[in-house]
Amino acid sequence: MSGLQTEFPFTLPKGYVDDDGTLHKTGIMRLACARDEIEPLRDGRVKENEAYATVIVLARVVTQLGTVSRVTTKTIESLFVSDFSYLQDLYRIVNFQDPSILDTLEPGTPFPQASVEVG
């Protein structure tokens, strides 16, 4: 068994507020597989707006968010912009960069700009 880390805990800067007013700040994102990026391209919402693919991908790879029973596109759509941006950056880091940078950061703090640029 290799030591590949496939799940990454996170803390959102602001947090997701559900329909009951409960705040959820911590969660887990898993590594993406090719299907996570391919499947959304078949979705009609993406054909109308390419940017929506990001919402679908994040809904697939965020496996846990506080006590939310299931993370859906509606969950991701309801995030504050800063939290949505945070998850996009986290996605880029864990899938395309060196995720060891996460060990050096306080939970919920912005990522250093150099770490989120895709080369």
The stretch 111-118 carries a mean pLDDT of 65
What integer pLDDT is reported at residue 118 of this predicted model?
Answer: 52
d(CA 1, CA 28): 21
What integer pLDDT is reported at residue 119 of this predicted model?
Answer: 47
Q: For residue 102, give the nearest of 29, 50, 14 by alpha carbon.
A: 29
Query: Is the per-residue pLDDT at 67 higher than 90?
Result: yes
What integer pLDDT is reported at residue 98 of this predicted model?
Answer: 84
What integer pLDDT is reported at residue 2 of this predicted model?
Answer: 61
Contacts 24+ apart (CB under 8 A), 67-70: 67/22, 67/24, 68/16, 68/18, 68/24
d(CA 82, CA 98): 22
Q: What is the mean pLDDT of the chain?
A: 90
pLDDT tens digits, one per residue of 11-37: 999 999 999 999 999 999 999 999 999
What integer pLDDT is reported at residue 102 of this predicted model?
Answer: 85
d(CA 65, CA 107): 14
